[in-house]
Amino acid sequence: MQQSAHPNIYLFNPTCEYAVGNGNASWHPNKILQKMEADLATLPLYFAAENDFVIVPDLPESEFFKHLQKVGITPPHFVTEKQLQNSPPEQIGQLKPWGWSPAVHKRLENLKPKCQTEFKNTPVFNWKPEYRELYSKKFALQILHQLVDNYQSPNFIGENEITEVCKTQDQIEKLLAKWDKLMVKAPWSSSGRGLQPITKQPIHDKVWEKLLGIVKEQGYAIVEAFQNKELDLAFQFELKAGKINFLGTSNFSADKKGQYLGNSLNGLPDELDKDVKGFAEEMSLLIVPALKKEIGKSELAKNYEGFFGVDTLIFRDENNTLKINPCLEINVRHNMGLLSLYLEKFIAPTKKGRFRMFYNPKQYFADFCQQMNHDYPLVLEKEKIISGFFPLTAYSKSTQFGAYILV
């Protein structure tokens, strides 16, 4: 990473969408999400330069620094929030939380005066109420309509299958009659949380309670046809001064319920069907410039600066033909797909790997790492991983969440 003259400050707050949806600057995630943020707090180190700071609840042990040096990483400074409040750097380049929200603005507010003028002039330096909708899945739907209208590709999702916004049980039932299976999403949510697949009818009372809970809490629900999925692809971009730069494509995997599992590293997995691979490559050539153009003239280009990822979905329709939803969601923040692009440099270029998240309520991350180190010992060549297991986040005896690479 390039070093800037003044250190940047990083913070891992992946619950930022919920905070945006809630809108209250005093919002806090629930216990389990707080635990996730705390356990994975060291993750932004892969974006940071040596002179930057990463905010953590507890400082990692020296073992972790030695571990990172194996792959040639000189880590940034880790600081607790208290240390940062008591002795902040004299000057700060930028504040770089995982994602913006009213809550994170409040949390970092006393560091703002020390930031450089260039950062103070960006649209992310202060939160405005009108930003809220840009972080919603409804904004992605607006871009999807523009793509379908302006780039009439036969490979795009059909007009009759485009996502809809629902505010009542009646509207959801109509779509169920039309599509048979649904995926219902909270407008502000991330990493596959706030999702409810509906694959069986009639809908159970408990499920209705959850669906109508989303509507009550966030004002509406996002409803999609449940597709016969082949591949999840995300296009990663950076937006700076209204200009969009394409950074690369990431391939992620999610479970049946849509919860995020991990990413492929160094290209699509070898076992992937050749047709799907070819289709993905061909579609990327069309969709990336189209997204740059449509998002480039949207409100997001004027009111945001930083990273964002666009999730797409490749699926087979009822005739078994490959189709793509070219803009399923827009993640206006750092995201795991972006991180996976940064992690590829630690792997030997000829090798493929997986970036994975760990959470198992019955096992601690430390015990999992011990087992994996035994089963998949790390093999390095010139500080590049040839094969084996490499944990990415610091851990102690009570760590429940973790992230790792397996090559």
- pTM (two decimals): 0.95
On average, the pLDDT of the chain sits at 95
Q: Which of the 8 DSSP states describes residue 6?
A: S
pLDDT in tens, 233-288: 999 999 999 999 999 999 999 887 778 889 999 999 989 999 999 999 999 999 99
Residue 406 near residue 356, CB atoms below 8 Å:
yes
Read off the pLDDT of each residue in 59-78 and give the average, rounded to a whole number.
97
DSSP string computed for 297-361? TSHHHHH--EEEEEEEEEEE-TTS-EEEEEEEEEE-S--HHHHHHHHGGGB-TT--EEEEEEEBT
3-state SS, residue 103: helix
pLDDT in tens, 354-374: 999 999 999 999 999 999 999
Q: What letter represents residue 375's amino acid?
A: D
74, 225, 241, 327 from 139: Cα distances, Å: 39, 18, 20, 10
**CA 136/CA 144 separation, integer angstroms:** 13
Q: What percent of the chain is modeled with pLDDT above 70?
A: 99
Structural domains of the chain, with CATH? 9-127 (no CATH), 134-339 (3.30.470.20), 354-406 (no CATH)
3 falls in which pLDDT band (50, 70, 90)? low
**CA 57/CA 64 separation, integer angstroms:** 15
Q: What letter represents residue 315's amino acid?
A: F
pLDDT for residue 128 is more than 90: yes
**CA 193/CA 186 separation, integer angstroms:** 8
Read off the pLDDT of each residue in 62-81 and give the average, rounded to a whole number.
97
pLDDT in tens, 135-193: 999 999 999 999 999 998 999 999 999 999 999 999 999 999 999 999 999 999 976 67
pLDDT for residue 1 is more than 60: no
- Model pLDDT, residue 257: 78
- Nearest one of 328, 290, 406, 282 to 161, comparing CA atoms: 328
392 falls in which pLDDT band (50, 70, 90)? very high
pLDDT in tens, 29-65: 999 999 999 999 999 999 999 999 999 999 999 999 9
- Model pLDDT, residue 2: 53
- Model pLDDT, residue 194: 86
The two three-digit tokens of residue 43, written as one number = 């993750």
- Model pLDDT, residue 254: 84
DSSP string computed for 174-242? HHHHHHSSEEEE-SS--TT-SEEEE-SSSPPHHHHHHHHHHHHHHS-EEEEE--EEEEEEEEEEEEETT
Q: What percent of the chain is modeled with pLDDT above 90?
A: 94
- Model pLDDT, residue 120: 98
**CA 346/CA 141 separation, integer angstroms:** 36
